[in-house]
């Protein structure tokens, strides 16, 4: 398979270009996705290539973007709806939760919803308010949705392509801080990676970190730092946040007996809680220490001056690892 | 030059058949008698179907029911202008549209008895399930219309809402998208003058809903919604334009619900018997019957035998609806995803265990 | 203190009547809250008593109801916004999460949001779709909100009065199935109960059930059934769902070593997950068995025909209790 | 009777000062020279303040910045009609409104440097923090207006949004509520013809935003938004009506942003230099200056000394903004609730530990 060096945002674009070319039912709609190529350039050149009927610049209305996608999907299209930042998912929440997530169920399979809702997500780029949010737990808690967040260019391409081909709606969260953070060889042309499979980023036997998106990096850094002390830390990138790869998590924690979950979203009722709940439910007797959570705090994502104190960093993960190892 | 008029938006109202059953000769669409008799049949069926549901509800054989009585012309007038390949995107009160569009009455009853399976339209008919969140379905009308356009089909989408629905942001976003993308979508607002207890004059300070079309650069028209001819003509024209690629239309059908909002409501708490009486004089069914009678096309013998025939058909629908056994409890987890994910496979087992 | 027999919906009405009379800044707004007295009669007669400027019948628009409340609160009023059913909170989600929950923080205290968002919630009355939802986890996960759900008439009155007086926004979830389920003596006139305090409904030493709202009843029934076998089950009604009474939960589980959480909302990333996460975090070594969750399934709340199979009932709680007791 | 006109909505546009600085004598509001000079000063200050922010941003001393250049008349025209007891509910581009309404420039800079404390208005001034979710703040304008009305205050609320903001459901819901409840709220839409890369003609098929007022039964007017006199007069009249209990108004100010959408944007990707040049000829500042010069009230010497004076003031604002030390990390948990709940007390301790 031939590859090309791509950043994550290029990989995202490439996945859409390939799927638009492959399946005439695929359409892209959202704010500034046309001539502007998206505010992050994730749709750069797509309108020029596929025309204004396949790549639609919409008026500024998120509920309408998603609600229109519902109608498009009901009538046989496969829309990719871009929400400009995850902070602006809320105006579309009714369409997402009341219709996207339910239409298949409500119509007993007659009107499936093969919709991808792509949205730049999470923090780290020092933007104004509402541009740094991590809302995965809201969507995980909403039955009928799948939720994905890639942490590498390759995963972004393969998972987005799978999401587009999936017959169920997928909320696809793209970490803005990673859009241009690295370049790597990404397969060209058609390429998919299975949804629902975690990725073991680093193997270890003494503790497991489960994380995703922006916090994979500080987790790895923390693992390396702690390993200087002679222990081995396993790092799992969840990738698909729901339905997630519980098997991989349980297999790892079954071996290590210790789990630290790291995520940017606020802690309370976040996805870390679900991980903790499932692990204690199914592996209580294997747990050598409580499941630790290293997360954003339970406050609105702060403005740029304090943002770095909010996002879990290496130091906080190290502390949690030490705590669990010394329990 | 300084204080200049930049826009003048004129909004019209169409009435053809007056309350005594007389047709305005200039506007007479000249429909054949069979067509008019068909309208009458469909409206009567809708009314009897509704009446039966209310009776069943009182007997505990039906769930919450939103009565359409009084809105038969507004519903049948639109449905009678539909082609089989058109799409219907209803709210929760459009039983009359569904019946006239060929959805089995038994399915409608099933749905409102609390069974999701009642929302599956027969093959060849495209009707989205009733949308309960007020106004939200109008956007689906935009999307369906856009899909039809992209697919190059000569078909239209009709999306329904009530006067209350026009206050929702989704109404605005749908009509604005429709103005911009020009899908073959017809928005039908049945303005029955009440949203539960809120009268239309408190729903908006706008004099009409039709005039809101000017905010979106699309055509809008108000029709006497108890006048089957006016509704039919407006819908027919709007649908023809839509199918011809000429874009969306907003139709406001002025009507009234004779009954309670739903079987959980008690309308006497908030509205006067005089108002109801005023509207009952404008009963859409009576009006068409008067017209047919005046033309010698109908009489009480016809009426009686049609009522008997339709009632029998409705009894069959009830029987069919009640004959369907309830789904097994595990049914509830089967349809959320295309393939059952691990957690729902586990939960299905829990449901089975709990049902034991 | 003189009392009067009230159902829960009467108690809710009474709390509003007392607070409207007590504080001219309190206003009520929502759909059908005026002449109709609310679709459940929770505002019956309030408009007649306090006038159309204190009790406002609004057009049919939830975002506007909450968004208007934000402006009212910013300018010194204390609005009580009714959302007709919790299923219709979604259209207001942007106003709730982006503004109600954040305005105090965003303005560094200058514009507090003493808003109560009251909404009939949860299942059991066999209504159409979207009239039975339990969305507490969404609000618990949203920093800046408090979340309350009473299970008795007295709690409804006392907690609603406190919510109205509270300087922070409170999402007040009222279980429709309990509105008229019981009548009890409720204090007349001014009466408050503290937010953040759980209520021990039944004491026991062998296992703890934590629950709230509609599921308090099946929890109690299950406790009684299991106790026939000689064990004692403690039942805690959480009442304030966030920030909840962790102390009470930990104290109880510290004694019993076993915890079953019962709620109607879908399981995944529900509030039960947070309870499990916190308890294993702080009392792992006391746990004699995994925290069990008895919840709604991860599907949209079913239509009436299957609703009774969705809502946790005595049988399912009994099974969970047996499982935890026999672990 | 049958096909009747039920509504005619006329929408007007107001222009007073033309692009060459000539006043239409019939519409001349006859403002005193000091007032006009005050307008000029405020507009120039806004432009220099904006320009400085862009420079700071390039030097890494400012966060993302949304430039107001070109919209000075639309902003100062409204602000100059405000009374101290009025409320301002801004979007994210209204720096010119804030400055002219008496918000310290240092605070505005602080806010956009990424410090929540910059959003606290001085005692006696009521300005809500910038609202980033487009359109959502218009509803706050309704609520604030309603509160003022309930409290019997003779004050008004002014809520701002852009052309893009009018596509949001919240715009619709706000204007509809305003029509129904008649709060003293003025909605000011700065139609700068672009919402990031979307031109106004793709934002809505409506010919104007002003005409949308007819959908809500409230007065609406379009003004030349680069004409400080037209903006001021429209705002003054709307505010007077609001304070007198005569209800809300929608004002559309036709204007243009000369710069990029924000410092993250590159406008040449989507719009033509010709369009920009056309609008630059209609620069709101130049236009007033031409007028003042023609009346002998201004010349380049005045201009130079005013620029120098304003620049010095702006340097002070920068200094004050930069002098404020960043808040301690624990600050982030202090303001979410009136009293710190247990979980945030714990998290505060975590933050302290992490900062060590
Ligand atoms: C978003 C939303 N809010 C509230 C409700 C509750 N509700 C159901 S019908 C209704 C009134 C609808 O009025 P209208 O749109 O005029 O339609 P009608 O009932 O008159 O047919 C309300 C408030 C709902 N279904 N959806
Ligand atoms: C709800 C929402 N969606 C998207 C955005 C991202 N965004 C910020 S400004 C903007 C364009 C706004 O255009 P307009 O309302 O015309 O105001 P202008 O920027 O021209 O002043 C967009 C899409 C946002 N802030 N809020
Ligand atoms: Mg109605
Ligand atoms: Mg704009």
- Tell me, yes or no, if B179 comes closer than 8 A to chain D by beta carbon: yes
The H or E element containing residue B10 is strand B3-14
Cβ contact D285:D256 at 8 Å:
no
CA distance C111 to chain D (A): 8
Report the C-alpha dihedral over residues C236, C239, C242, C248, rounded to 10 degrees: -30
Summarised one tens digit per residue, pLDDT across range C101-156 is 999 999 999 999 999 999 999 999 999 999 999 999 999 999 999 999 999 999 99
User: How many angstroms separate the CA atoms of A43 and A32, rounded?
Assistant: 9
Residues within 5 Å of ion ligand 4 by Cβ?
D 162-163, 192, 195
Touching subunits of B (3+ CB pairs, under 8 Å) are A, C, D
Burial A140-160 (b: 16+ CB within 10 A, else e): bbbbbbbbbbbbbbbbbbbbb
The H or E element containing residue D287 is helix D284-294
Report residue C229's pLDDT band, with 50, 70 and 90 as the boundaries.
confident
Q: How many CB atoms lie within 10 A of CB D319?
A: 11
Report residue D356's pLDDT band, with 50, 70 and 90 as the boundaries.
confident
Cβ contact A166:A146 at 8 Å:
yes
Summarised one tens digit per residue, pLDDT across range A58-68 is 999 999 999 99
Q: What is the pLDDT of residue D23?
A: 95
Phi/psi for C202 (5° steps) reads: -155, 135
Distances, alpha carbon A274 to alpha carbons A94, A194, A195, C209, D85, in Å: 24, 22, 19, 19, 49
Which residues from chain A sit within 8 angstroms of residue C108, using beta carbons? none
Report the C-alpha dihedral over residues D310, D313, D315, D319, rounded to 10 degrees: -160
Q: What is the pLDDT of residue C209?
A: 98
Report residue D2's pLDDT band, with 50, 70 and 90 as the boundaries.
low
The H or E element containing residue D145 is helix D137-150
The SS3 assignment for A147 reads strand
Q: How many CB atoms lie within 10 A of CB D304?
A: 10
Burial of B145 (0-12, 13-18, 19+ CB in 10 A): buried
CA of D75 to the centre of ligand 2 (A): 17
Summarised one tens digit per residue, pLDDT across range A32-49 is 999 999 999 999 999 999
Summarised one tens digit per residue, pLDDT across range B59-113 is 999 999 999 999 999 999 999 999 999 999 999 999 999 999 999 999 999 999 9
Which neighbouring-strand residues pair with B186? B158, B249
Residues in chain C: 327
Summarised one tens digit per residue, pLDDT across range D123-173 is 999 999 999 999 999 999 999 999 999 999 999 999 999 999 999 999 999
Short-list A77, A74, A86, A71, CA closest to A118? A86
Quick one: angle between helices A62-74 and B137-150, nearest 10? 60
Short-list D256, D306, D278, CA closest to D67? D256
My answer on whether omega of the bond before A243 falls inside 30° of 0, hence cis, is yes
Mean pLDDT of chain B, nearest integer = 97
Span B289-311, average pLDDT = 97
A273:C274 CB<8 A = yes
Give me the helices (H) in B265-355, please. Answer: 273-280, 284-294, 300-323, 331-334, 342-355
User: How many angstroms separate the CA atoms of D235 and B91, rounded?
Assistant: 41
Placement of tokens 């499941």 in the chain: A291
For every residue of D196-214, DSSP letters joined together read: TTEEHHHH-SSS-SGGGGG
Cβ contact C121:C174 at 8 Å:
yes
pLDDT at position D1 over 60: no
Short-list A230, A220, A236, A118, CA closest to A179? A118
Span A277-295, average pLDDT = 98
Cβ contact B190:B166 at 8 Å:
no
User: How many angstroms separate the CA atoms of A243 and A155, rounded?
Assistant: 17
- Tell me, yes or no, if B168 comes closer than 8 A to chain A by beta carbon: no
Q: Which tokens belong to A177?
A: 């801080």
Residues in chain A: 327
Span A11-17, average pLDDT = 98
- Name the maximum alpha-carbon separation found in chain C: 59
CA distance C91 to chain B (A): 9
User: How many angstroms separate the CA atoms of D306 and D302, rounded?
Assistant: 6
Cβ contact C144:C102 at 8 Å:
yes
Span B309-332, average pLDDT = 97
Which residues from chain C sit within 8 angstroms of residue A138, using beta carbons? 138, 141
Short-list D186, D187, D189, CA closest to D242? D186
User: How many angstroms separate the CA atoms of A234 and A208, rounded?
Assistant: 5
Distances, alpha carbon D264 to alpha carbons C87, D54, D261, in Å: 38, 11, 8
Q: What is the pLDDT of residue C1?
A: 80
Which neighbouring-strand residues pair with D12? B5, D221
Q: What is the pLDDT of residue B2?
A: 63
Angle among Cα D305, D307, D311 to the nearest 5 degrees reads 120
Short-list D189, D197, D199, CA closest to D165? D189
- Name the maximum alpha-carbon separation found in chain D: 82
Ligand of minimum distance to the alpha carbon of D261 = 2
Instruction: Kindly give, in sequence order, each residue whose CB lies less than 8 Å from that of residue A224, ignoring residues fewer than 6 positions away.
Output: none
Short-list D236, D223, D216, CA closest to D189? D223
Placement of tokens 């218009």 in the chain: D138
CB nearest to A299's CB, from C143, C298, C299 = C143
Which residues from chain D sit within 8 angstroms of residue B217, using beta carbons? 204-207
Span D333-338, average pLDDT = 98
Cβ contact C292:A281 at 8 Å:
yes
Residues within 5 Å of ion ligand 3 by Cβ?
B 162-163, 192, 195
Percentage of chain A exceeding pLDDT 90? 99
Q: Which tokens belong to B203?
A: 């729903």
Cβ contact B9:B214 at 8 Å:
yes
Q: Which tokens belong to B272?
A: 């006067």
Short-list B177, B131, B143, CA closest to A74? B143
Cβ contact C90:C97 at 8 Å:
no
Residue nearest to atom 12 of ligand 1 (CA): B195
Of the CA atoms within 13 Å of residue C115, those in its CB half-sphere come to: 35
Q: Which tokens belong to B5?
A: 């008029």
A269:C93 CB<8 A = no
Residue of chain B whose alpha carbon sits nearest to that of C35? B270
pLDDT at position B1 over 70: no
Q: How many CB atoms lie within 10 A of CB B280?
A: 13
Q: Is the complex ipTM higher than 0.95?
A: yes
User: How many angstroms separate the CA atoms of D190 and A69, rounded?
Assistant: 29
My answer on whether omega of the bond before A270 falls inside 30° of 0, hence cis, is no
Phi/psi for A211 (5° steps) reads: -155, -175
Report residue B207's pLDDT band, with 50, 70 and 90 as the boundaries.
very high
Burial of B274 (0-12, 13-18, 19+ CB in 10 A): exposed
Summarised one tens digit per residue, pLDDT across range A109-127 is 999 999 999 999 999 999 9
Cβ contact B89:B157 at 8 Å:
yes
Q: What is the pLDDT of residue B356?
A: 83
Percentage of chain D exceeding pLDDT 90? 99
CA of B161 to the centre of ligand 3 (A): 8
pLDDT at position D48 over 70: yes
- Tell me, yes or no, if B144 comes closer than 8 A to chain A by beta carbon: yes
Which neighbouring-strand residues pair with D17? D23
CA of D163 to the centre of ligand 4 (A): 5
Report the C-alpha dihedral over residues D41, D46, D47, D48, rounded to 10 degrees: 80
Q: What is the pLDDT of residue A26?
A: 98
The helix, strand and coil proportions of chain C, stated in percent and rounded to the nearest 5, come to: 40, 20, 40
Q: What is the pLDDT of residue A229?
A: 85
Burial C222-236 (b: 16+ CB within 10 A, else e): bbebbeeeebebbbb
CA of B276 to the centre of ligand 1 (A): 20
Percentage of chain C exceeding pLDDT 70? 100
User: How many angstroms separate the CA atoms of A139 and A146, rounded?
Assistant: 8
């Amino acid at each position: 398979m031939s590859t090309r060096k791509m950043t994550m945002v290029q990989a995202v674009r490439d996945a859409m270009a390939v799927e638009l070319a492959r399946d005439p039912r695929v359409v892209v709609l959202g704010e500034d996705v046309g001539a502007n190529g998206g505010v992050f350039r994730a749709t750069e050149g797509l309108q020029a290539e596929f025309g204004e009927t396949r790549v639609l610049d919409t008026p500024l209305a998120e509920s309408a973007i998603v609600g229109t996608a519902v109608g498009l999907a009901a009538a046989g299209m496969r829309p990719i709806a871009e929400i400009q930042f995850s902070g602006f998912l809320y105006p579309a929440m009714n369409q997402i939760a009341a219709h996207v997530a339910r239409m298949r169920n409500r119509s007993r399979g007659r009107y499936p919803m093969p919709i991808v809702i792509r949205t730049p997500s999470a923090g780290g780029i020092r933007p104004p308010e509402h541009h740094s949010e991590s809302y995965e737990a809201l969507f995980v808690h909403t039955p009928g949705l799948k939720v994905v967040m890639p942490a590498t260019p390759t995963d972004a391409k393969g998972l987005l392509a799978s999401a587009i081909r999936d017959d169920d709606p997928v909320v696809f969260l793209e970490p803005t801080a990673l859009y241009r953070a690295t370049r790597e060889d990404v397969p060209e042309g058609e390429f998919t990676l299975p949804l629902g499979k975690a990725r073991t980023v680093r193997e270890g036997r003494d503790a497991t970190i489960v994380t995703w998106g922006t916090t994979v990096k500080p987790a790895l850094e923390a693992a390396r730092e702690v390993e200087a002390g002679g222990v081995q830390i396993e790092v799992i990138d969840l990738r698909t946040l729901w339905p997630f790869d519980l098997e991989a998590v349980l297999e790892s924690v079954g071996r290590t007996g210790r789990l630290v979950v790291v995520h940017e979203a606020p802690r309370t009722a976040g996805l870390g809680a679900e991980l903790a709940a499932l692990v204690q439910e199914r592996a209580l007797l294997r747990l050598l220490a409580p499941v630790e959570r290293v997360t954003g705090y339970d406050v609105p994502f702060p403005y740029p001056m304090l943002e770095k104190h909010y996002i879990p960093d290496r130091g906080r993960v190290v502390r949690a690892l030490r705590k669990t190892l010394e329990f | 030059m300084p204080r200049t008029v930049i826009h003048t938006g004129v909004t019209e109202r169409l009435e053809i058949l007056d309350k005594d059953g007389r047709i305005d000769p200039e506007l007479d669409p000249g429909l054949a008698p069979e067509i008019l008799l068909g309208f009458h049949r469909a409206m009567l069926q809708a009314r009897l179907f509704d009446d039966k549901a209310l009776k069943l509800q009182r007997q505990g054989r039906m769930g919450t029911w939103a009565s359409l009585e009084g809105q038969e012309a507004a519903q049948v007038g639109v449905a009678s202008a539909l082609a089989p390949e058109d799409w219907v995107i209803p709210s929760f009160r459009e039983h009359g549209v569904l019946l006239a569009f060929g959805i089995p009455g038994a399915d409608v009853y099933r749905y409102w008895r609390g069974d999701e399976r009642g929302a599956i339209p027969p093959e060849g008919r495209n009707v989205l399930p009733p949308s309960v969140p007020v106004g939200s379905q109008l956007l689906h009308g935009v999307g369906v219309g856009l899909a039809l356009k992209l697919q190059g089909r000569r078909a239209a989408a009709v999306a329904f809402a009530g006067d209350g629905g026009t206050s929702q942001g989704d109404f605005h976003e749908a009509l604005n998208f429709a103005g911009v993308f020009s899908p073959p979508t017809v928005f039908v607002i049945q303005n029955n003058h009440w949203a539960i207890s809120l009268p239309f004059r408190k729903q908006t300070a706008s004099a009409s809903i039709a005039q809101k079309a000017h905010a979106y650069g699309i055509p809008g028209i108000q029709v006497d919604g108890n006048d089957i001819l006016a509704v039919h003509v407006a819908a027919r024209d709007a649908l023809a334009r839509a199918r011809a690629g000429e874009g969306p239309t907003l139709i406001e059908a002025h009507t009234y619900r004779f009954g309670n909002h739903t079987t959980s409501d008690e309308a006497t708490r908030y509205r006067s018997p005089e108002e109801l009486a005023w509207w009952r004089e404008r009963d859409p069914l009576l009006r068409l019957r008067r017209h047919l009678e005046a033309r010698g096309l109908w009489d009480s013998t016809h009426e009686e035998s049609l009522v008997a025939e339709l009632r029998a058909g409705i009894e069959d629908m009830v029987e069919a609806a009640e004959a369907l056994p309830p789904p097994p409890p595990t049914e509830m987890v089967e349809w959320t995803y295309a393939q059952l994910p691990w957690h729902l496979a586990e939960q299905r087992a829990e449901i089975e265990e709990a049902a034991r």
